[in-house]
């Protein structure tokens, strides 16, 4: 196996695990709410605690990778996420849940910037969007697999605590496996070019070769991350409001993620073929329209539509992530991805909390319509991205 393929395979495995850990919360939250009698605002606050850890620690992870390398940090973060889920299984109330999920989010914060950086460096120009689309697809495999498993176990009458603790133990074991695989392949060390650069010039600056392009990408990531996090937090509640059985409603997120799997993989190829701007515009517009349709369609019809909404919901990210490397110098990719993910995750902190408060005031259906409206309002940002990138994205690795 070539070094680039080994990098993609190992990072995709890490993505499967971490996205499974992160998005299984969308299945667990309605059950946790019933167990502890929590309201929408409290659910939003719990999700925001997890997202806050992701937002705060992704940037430091990217900076630390320049000094210590990605390998050790990825293993450390994976073990930390596992500890958080073991603690969640022992949680006895609202505050304990907040702390456990903050720890889990802290650990998962390491995975995205470090894995994306390793893949971007392994695929300098040709095939980068396809590689990152494949990596994103792997994340949705984890989302669908772990969330579906939890949904089935809970629907079968098993309590949520034991599966949560078992998942945490698996994550801690995976940390050791990831470290061993990366070490045997010689992946995750600090690049020689970076050592020279740091020695000569220090480690300041973000290495943006196209500042306006990076800002435009980040602005779209803000909208996309806010919309996705808020929608997935409350879609199960929307299905419950439509009168669907609890077991069906809990499968809402896995259904949307199943469509998202296809969306992330397909949009990586589409962005490579037709360009990121067209791909992003189509997915964002389709997603906004699909969310509106979910609100107005009857329960079963809305449920069937979920995979198609998920396709557009998750597809945008492949085009965004695959374009970051076009506007950043190669020796600063880790910190640029850390900054990019931090900004997006910060919105993922605010959005569930804000929309949770709104849902308590105006109801779940009106809240979901607001999510779609905000997405549609910011569609013109794709024109800004088109102008900043020019006719073709300028490669930073050449």
pLDDT digits (tens, 9 = 90+) for 325-369: 788 887 777 788 888 888 887 787 788 888 988 998 999 999 999
Task: Give a yes or no: residue 72 inside a domain.
Answer: yes
Query: Distance of alpha carbon 126 from its chain centroid, rounded?
Result: 24
| Most confident region among 57-66, 155-164, 184-193, 231-240 by mean pLDDT | 231-240
pLDDT at 125: 65
Task: Give a yes or no: residue 115 inside a domain.
Answer: yes
Q: What's the domain range around 360?
A: 3-389
Dist. CA 125–CA 376, nearest whole Å: 32
Place 191 in a pLDDT band, splitting at 50, 70 and 90: low
pLDDT greater than 60 at residue 246 = yes
Task: Give a yes or no: residue 18 inside a domain.
Answer: yes
Q: What percent of the chain has pLDDT over 70?
A: 93
Per-residue pLDDT, averaged over 53-58, amounts to 84
How many domains does the structure of the chain reveal?
1
CATH code (residue 101): 1.20.1250.20
Q: Which residue has the higher pLDDT, 206 or 137?
A: 137
pLDDT greater than 90 at residue 74 = yes
pLDDT at 193: 54
Q: What is the model's pTM?
A: 0.72
pLDDT greater than 90 at residue 87 = yes
Place 86 in a pLDDT band, splitting at 50, 70 and 90: very high
Task: Give a yes or no: residue 395 inside a domain.
Answer: no
The sign one gets for the Cα dihedral 126, 130, 131, 133 is positive
Query: Distance of alpha carbon 217 from its chain centroid, rounded?
Result: 16
pLDDT at 202: 42
pLDDT greater than 70 at residue 243 = yes
- Alpha helices (H) in the chain, listed in sequence order: 3-23, 25-36, 40-68, 70-90, 94-108, 111-122, 128-155, 161-185, 192-201, 211-241, 246-250, 252-274, 276-296, 299-324, 333-362, 364-377, 381-389
Per-residue pLDDT, averaged over 72-88, amounts to 94
Q: Which residue has the higher pLDDT, 176 or 257?
A: 176
Task: Give a yes or no: residue 396 inside a domain.
Answer: no
State the chain's mean pLDDT as an integer. Answer: 85
Q: Which residue has the higher pLDDT, 1 or 356?
A: 356
């Amino acid at each position: 196996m070539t070094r680039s393929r080994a990098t993609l395979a190992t990072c995709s495995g890490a993505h499967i695990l971490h996205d499974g850990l992160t998005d299984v919360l969308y299945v667990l939250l309605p059950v946790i709410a019933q167990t502890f009698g929590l309201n929408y605002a409290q659910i939003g606050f719990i999700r925001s605690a997890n997202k806050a850890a992701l937002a705060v620690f992704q940037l430091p992870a990217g900076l630390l990778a320049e000094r210590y390398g990605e390998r050790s940090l990825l293993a450390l973060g994976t073990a930390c996420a596992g500890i958080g889920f073991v603690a969640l299984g022992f949680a006895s109330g609202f505050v304990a849940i907040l702390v456990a999920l903050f720890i889990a989010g802290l650990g998962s914060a390491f995975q995205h910037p470090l894995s994306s950086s390793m893949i971007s460096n392994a695929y300098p120009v040709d095939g980068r969007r396809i590689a990152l689309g494949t990596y994103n697809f792997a994340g949705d495999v984890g989302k669908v697999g772990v969330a579906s498993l939890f949904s089935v176990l809970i629907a079968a009458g098993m309590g949520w605590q034991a599966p949560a603790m078992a998942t945490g133990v698996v994550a801690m074991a995976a940390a050791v496996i990831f470290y061993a695989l990366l070490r045997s392949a010689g992946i995750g060390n600090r690049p020689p070019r970076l050592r020279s650069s740091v020695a000569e010039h220090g480690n300041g600056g973000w290495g943006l070769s196209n500042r306006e392009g990076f800002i435009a990408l980040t602005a779209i990531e803000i909208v996309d991350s806010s919309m996705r996090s808020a929608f997935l937090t409350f879609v199960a509640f929307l299905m419950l409001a439509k009168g669907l059985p609890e077991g069906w409603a809990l499968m809402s997120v896995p259904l949307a993620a199943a469509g998202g799997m296809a969306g992330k993989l397909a949009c990586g190829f589409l962005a490579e073929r037709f360009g990121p701007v067209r791909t992003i515009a189509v997915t964002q517009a389709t997603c906004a329209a699909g969310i509106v349709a979910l609100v107005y369609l009857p329960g079963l019809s809305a449920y069937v539509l979920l995979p198609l909404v998920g396709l557009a919901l998750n597809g945008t990210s492949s085009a965004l992530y695959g374009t970051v490397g076009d506007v950043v110098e190669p020796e600063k990719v880790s910190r640029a991805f850390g900054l990019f993910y931090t900004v997006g995750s910060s919105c993922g902190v605010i959005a569930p909390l804000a929309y949770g408060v709104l849902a308590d005031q105006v109801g779940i259906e009106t809240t979901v319509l607001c999510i779609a409206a905000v997405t549609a309002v910011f569609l013109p940002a794709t024109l800004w991205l088109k102008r900043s990138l020019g006719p073709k994205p300028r490669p930073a690795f050449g």
